[in-house]
Amino acid sequence: MVFVLQPGLNRRCSRHMPLVLANDLAADSAMTLSQASVGCDLRIKLLSGPSCDRLRDLGFCEQLQVRKLSGGRNLICSVCGTRMAISRELADQVMVAPA
């Protein structure tokens, strides 16, 4: 399940979120999006799974830089200035590495 959130809502909350630098992670580490820390800037390395074609249609594709804004049952990521919510099951199919 994928939701695209309207940009600009709750901007105040995202400004106060701590920034996790890529240096805090191992340079060659690859993990799923659901495993990544909140506030971390990431680069998508691989989309693999049955629902990933829909993500690609929305512009969420390999080599794109994203920031994970929240975790939980649904994850919220900042993608090109737009926040996108995806399910944890879908986030398990997205492999990322530090940006």
Mean pLDDT, the chain, rounded, equals 80
Q: How confident is the model at residue 27 (pLDDT cuts 50, 70, 90)?
A: very low
Q: Is the pLDDT of residue 52 over 70?
A: yes
Q: What percent of the chain has pLDDT over 70?
A: 72
Please provide the size of the chain in residues.
99
Statement: 2-8+29-98 belongs to CATH 3.40.50.261:
no
Ordered strands of the 74-79 beta sheet: 2-5, 82-87, 74-79, 65-70, 41-47, 94-98, 31-32
pTM: 0.70
Domain ranges of the chain: 2-8+29-98
Q: pLDDT band for position 32 (50/70/90)?
A: very high
What confidence score (pLDDT) does residue 26 get? 47
Q: What is the mean pLDDT of residues 2-27?
A: 47
